[in-house]
Amino acid sequence: MAVPSGIRPNMVALPGKPIGNVPNYDAAMATRPKTASTSPRAPRLWSPSELIAILDETYGRALQQASAAPVFELVLTLLSQHTSDRNSGQAMHRLIERFPTWDAVLAAPVREIEDAIRPGGLAPTKSKRLQELLAEVRARRPDWDLRFLADLPLDEAKAWLTSLPGVGPKTAACVLLFALERPALPVDTHVER
């Protein structure tokens, strides 16, 4: 396929979009090792460190900020299932606005919880799961303090969390990583694929 005149390899044309430069293309191409193939169709295999360096240079690296609130993270992750971050954020905001404590959520009628978390979708299912989850956490840790998970070996912390009703490996990893700064990687279907 011939490249139209005036188009350099570091320029991209997308349907309905003007042609523009791809950020950092020239720098990446200058540092990439030469391949034995002379075929223009030979795929470039970027190493993870090369990709991370290019993304960091282009977008910067976001600082990780641990919430230091494992139960909050547990509930937020449950509410985030099968919905967008925006919707789960609204559901969480409404939940904590209506119920000032986890004990209040646990004591509330399911219909009230369902109403509070409705923006997150699947409210009838999630409201019941949320109460089951909180009941088990309360039974095991009456003070609601899950920071002890930071001191357990990682496998034990994951096992403790996944023994809770409705908590799988991804939810456990979210709590460990985002609330306790543990080296756990939340992997969902899309990431795994």
Instruction: Give residue for tokens 């646990």.
Output: 106
Catalytic residue among 17, 34, 126, 170: 170
> What are the residues whose beta carbons fall under 8 Å from the beta carbon of 117, sequence distance 6 or more?
79, 91, 92, 94, 95, 123, 126, 127, 130
Q: Please report, in angstroms and rounded to a whole number, the separation of the first and last CA atoms in the chain.
A: 31
Q: In the numeric block, which tokens belong to residue 119?
A: 């923006």
Catalytic residue status for 34: no
Q: What is the distance between the alpha carbons of residues 95 and 72, in angstroms, rounded to a whole number?
A: 11
Catalytic positions:
170
